[in-house]
Amino acid sequence: MKICVLPGDGIGPEIIVEAVRVLKALGLAFEMEEAPVGGAGYRALGHPLPESTLALAKASDAILFGAVGDFSLDSLPRELRPEQAILGLRKELNLFANFRPALVYPELVDASSLKPEVISGLDILIIRELTGDIYFGKPRGIRTLESGEREGFDTMRYSESEIRRVLRVGFDAARKRSKRLCSVDKANVLDTMQLWREVAVEVGKEYPDVELSHQYVDNAAMQLLKNPKQFDVIVTGNMFGDILSDEASMLTGSIGMLPSASLNENNFGLYEPIHGSAPDIAGKGIANPLATILSAAMMLRFSFNHIEAADRIEAAVKRVLAQGFRTGDIIEPGMKAIGTREMGDAVLAALN
């Protein structure tokens, strides 16, 4: 099992190191190799996704990713900016299915801006298609009309096979959970989404044991706030998923706690926390490493089928929260914040 470790920028290296320590403590036979990416890639080798980094990623079985983003490089041409690394990896490795669990830990119920009774016990999974839709559809651009006015345009586009493969991922995931899948579209207005719904119904016939429901995206956005516990697995397109998964993550109120996975058809995955490089706290040793540690657990579960080891890490995280260990982002009145390394130490201790 070869893991490509890409720490990236800002707090990336600080949080990755804790996840690597946890992985090593499991006593499994991993080979891990690190490479620069994002701003660090640009500084070391002149490109956010250097060829050698991409080659290492392709020669590995999974990627553990920190975060990229470095405001001091924002004046570079778009193709050289740190964030291009993640887009390049998604494209090169065909990572079309993005898994974003939103889980509310009992100890962190008060971190949410919603009432405890609405979110307590929440455990949902949003699966977002990641390589198609209006973000990649062509034609796109800004043109000047005959009247002299400028017009911006993008193209929403999904092929049947792109819809089918992400729906199947959704159904498979629902099968392993509570066997309920909600497909989110905008079939009442958009032709692309009409096709999405038709294909969802077709694929649903292959999974008679999974209950399929449909919601329009505007309703889904409301329902996520009103009654998020009605959902189990949600599957949706790239743009709607972008917005809904961020909304869902905020139900939990703790950006430093949420892992994610982006998978291709062979279960090769890139695993990363949902947050960015947090330049405001980088280098201070105060970032919360739990989202990255939980991303490592997702990697064990999805790419390596080491379910027991994944369970062990997730149980250790629950234990440290129950013991009252908190980094600054999830602190409550009367508690003392610990740093990134201490949180890593606490998880290691709880593992054993």
Catalogue the active-site residues.
135, 186, 218, 242, 246
Rounded to whole angstroms, how far apart are CA atoms 342 and 24? 17
Token readout for 134 is 């209006």
To the nearest whole angstrom, how small is the minimum distance from the Cβ of residue 272 to ligand NAD? 6
Q: CB of residue 64 vs ligand NAD: minimum separation in angstroms?
A: 13
Interacting positions 249-268 with ligand NAD (CB under 6 A): 255-256
Q: What is d(CA 50, CA 31) in angstroms, rounded to the nearest whole number? A: 21
Compute the distance between CA of residue 239 and CA of residue 302 in angstroms, rounded to an integer: 24
Instruction: In angstroms, give the least distance from the CB of 249 to ligand NAD.
Output: 10
**Which CB atom, from 163 or from 299, has the smaller least distance to ligand NAD?**
299
Residue holding tokens 């198609």? Answer: 132
Name the segment binding ligand NAD (CB under 6 A); options: 47-55, 65-73, 104-112, 313-321. Answer: 65-73
- Nearest-10 crossing angle of helices 217-226, 238-252: 10
Q: In whole angstroms, how close is the CB of 145 to ligand NAD at the nearest point? A: 33
The answer to whether residue 18 forms part of the interface with ligand NAD (CB under 6 A) is: no
Alpha carbons 271 and 245: distance in angstroms, whole number: 16
Please report whether residue 64 would count as binding ligand NAD according to CB under 6 A: no
Stretch that binds ligand NAD, among 28-36, 209-217, 241-249, 276-284 (CB under 6 A): 276-284
Residue 15 CB, nearest distance to ligand NAD (Å)?
6
| Of the candidates 26, 89, 74, 46, the residue with the CA atom closest to the CA atom of residue 300 | 26
DSSP state of 257: G
Q: From the CB of 197, what's the least distance to ligand NAD, in Å? A: 30
Torsion of CA 251, 256, 257, 263, to 10 degrees: 100
Answer for which of 3, 5, 17, 67 binds ligand NAD (CB under 6 A) is 67
The span from the CA of 277 to the CA of 6, in Å, is 13
* Of 278 and 298, CB closest to ligand NAD: 278
Neighbours of 15 (CB within 10 A): 31
Token digits of residue 29 = 């036979």
Under rule CB under 6 A, which residues in 86-105 are in contact with ligand NAD? Answer: 86
Strand partners, 127: 99, 235
Report the residue number, 83 or 185, with the smaller CB distance to ligand NAD.
83
Site for ligand NAD in 277-336 (CB under 6 A): 277-281, 287-288, 291, 327, 329
Residue number, 192 or 245, with CB nearest to ligand NAD = 245
Residue 276 makes contact with ligand NAD by CB under 6 A: yes
Closest alpha carbon to 344 in 308, 300, 290 = 290
Write out the H or E segment, with its range, that includes residue 23: helix 12-25
CA 314 – CA 2 distance, rounded (Å) = 22
Please tell me the distance from the alpha carbon of residue 4 to that of residue 270, in angstroms, as a whole number. 9
The site that binds ligand NAD (CB under 6 A) totals a number of residues, namely: 22
Query: For the residues of 96-113, what is the DSSP string, one character each?
Result: -EEEEEEE--GGGGGGSS
Residue ranges in 198-257 that form contacts with ligand NAD under rule CB under 6 A? 255-256
Please say which residue, 87 or 190, places its beta carbon nearer to ligand NAD: 87
CB of 14 to ligand NAD, least distance (A): 9
Closer to ligand NAD by Cβ: residue 128 or 306: 128
Name the segment binding ligand NAD (CB under 6 A); options: 44-52, 66-74, 92-100, 212-220.
66-74
Of 275, 301, 306, 326, which lies in the binding site for ligand NAD, with binding defined by CB under 6 A?
Answer: 275
Binding residues for ligand NAD, per CB under 6 A? Answer: 11, 15, 67-69, 83, 86, 255-256, 272, 275-281, 287-288, 291, 327, 329
